[in-house]
Amino acid sequence: MSQKEGIILAVDDNEDILTALRLLVKQHVQTIHTISDPERIPNLMSEFNFDVILLDMNFSMDVISGQEGFHWLRKILEIDPNAVVIFITAYGDVEKAVKAVKAGAMDFVIKPWQNEKLLATISSGIRLRKSRTETANLKMKQRELSATLDQPFHEFIGNSTPMQNVLSLIQKVAQTDASVLILGENGTGKELVARALHRNSSRADDVFISVDLGALSETLFESELFGHVKGAFTDAKKDRPGRLEIASGGTLFLDEIGNLSLPLQAKLLTSLEKREVIRVGSNRPQPIDIRLICATNMPIHKMAKENRFRQDLLYRINTVEIFLPPLRERPEDIKPLAEFFLENFSKKYKKDIKGISLEALRKMENYSWPGNVRELQHAVERTVIMSDNKILQPEDFLLCTSDVKTEDFEFDNLNLEEVELNIIRKVLNKHRGNITQAARELGLTRTSLYRRLEKYGL
């Protein structure tokens, strides 16, 4: 036992027992409190954070049944559900020991005790208390974070009908263990939906494991998902559980599932159907209990018809389907999203930016956002960093176009200055504000381009 570790409370109606406990234990723990009256337990627990409570099973009322001890165990656990209680009694037997542990005690020590065994039991109790406290703190942090994020679905910004339909579907599905397939373009927030489903499920206090299948090679797939045993292959220097095993009890999110080859689809399907994994290099199946959520930006139903994706696997993963609409189909959500990102990035970069002008919002609403919400987020972040304006203006947002071609230029008139201004804007957009690249494409020097930018107020 570590020197001077732990705060202990000993409760026994025999003063000689308390003296013996105090003399033995005080050499090994930080503090030991001893009391003969169990009625004092609640007050002491309100004053001290005990790591271990040594509790007699029998007091004056009933000297052999142990009922008083069980009564005070219940009281202690009502006050602190994470309390570590060790029963001490001279009338120990197997039946009472089993009943004590089932009632919530950590262990059961019979008087007269063996000093080394008692100290070892207390040491184990201190470690257990530390572990319970750390676990409780982590769960509390997770609950607080979830409460902040889910007010409700904090990360889902927008009042458009398509997004309201998505939120309604999430609320209906979250509490079930149904497999969910999330469809949508890149940047629409598929992982956000997966995490929202997890946080609002009965598995919320357990793990959420995310796997990007698009980033896994064929050779790494089995080891990553199913795990391996030591010696299974050259670099397998120790046993390692796979993601399916680690996620057991919680939620497994398989992103980019449309990228899986047919042989890997078959292996995944077998594991899901049998609800077990077999680590690479082993023959022993390991049962798993997961809630499965998958996502893809690929036309997976078309792929299934063309035999590029297994129909039976598709049935297994899409008990419920959630489609995330692209941002261009819900332009009314651009304003609240942009304002949300603006507030966050203004705080992050300590910029005093008050808002976005109507003209800038119109520019954003007329843009197609091929990268969806993720592109909008990056555009606002870049603008917050670069702009010195209190109110963001259209020229602050350098929105990217994939290609600049002659046919892309449409002019309201043939005034040369208007034509030049339009071309400069489009080329700057193409190169995301990079002056060197824009000047090169326009056939100008950087100095000449800067003069024109100054001339047109860009």
Domain residue limits, the chain: 7-137, 157-325, 327-398, 400-458
CATH numeric code, 7-137? 3.40.50.2300
The reported pTM is 0.57
pLDDT at 399 exceeding the cut of 50: yes
- pLDDT average, residue stretch 155-181: 90
Higher pLDDT, 98 or 416: 98
pLDDT at 142: 64
Residues in the chain, total:
458
Degrees, nearest 5: CA angle 80-82-83: 70
Please provide the CATH number assigned to the domain covering 157-325: 3.40.50.300
| Residue pair 253/210 in contact by the 8 Å Cβ criterion | yes
Of the listed ranges 152-156, 245-249, 262-266, the least confidently predicted one is 152-156
Confidence of residue 94 (pLDDT cuts 50, 70, 90): low
**CATH architecture designation of domain 327-398:** Orthogonal Bundle (1.10)
Distance between CA atoms of residues 111 and 423, nearest Å: 92
Answer whether residue 330 shows pLDDT above 50. Answer: yes
Q: Tell me how far apart the alpha carbons of residues 50 and 81 are, in angstroms, rounded to a whole number.
A: 12
Triad 91, 96, 102: Cα angle to 5°: 150
139-154 pLDDT, tens digit per residue, is 665 655 555 444 444 5
Structure tokens at 43: 């007050």
Please tell me the CATH superfamily of domain 400-458, with its number: Homeodomain-like (1.10.10.60)
In the predicted model, what is the mean pLDDT of the chain? 85
pLDDT of 400 over the 70 cut? no
Closest alpha carbon to 86 in 35, 131, 37, 51? 51
Which ranges of 281-350 would DSSP assign to H, the alpha helix? Answer: 300-305, 311-317, 334-348
Higher pLDDT, 180 or 442: 180
Report whether pLDDT(336) > 80. yes
Range from 212-216, 343-347, 383-387, 401-405 carrying the lowest mean pLDDT: 401-405
Q: What is the pLDDT of residue 406?
A: 40
Residue 58 or 247, more confident = 247
Q: Which of 29-33, 194-198, 413-417 has the lowest average pLDDT?
A: 413-417
Rounded to whole angstroms, the Cα distance separating 121 from 135 reads 21
Can you say whether the dihedral through the CA atoms of 384, 385, 390, 391 is positive or negative? Answer: negative
pLDDT at position 405 over 60: no
Fold equal for 7-137 and 157-325: yes
> Which residue type occupies 245?
E
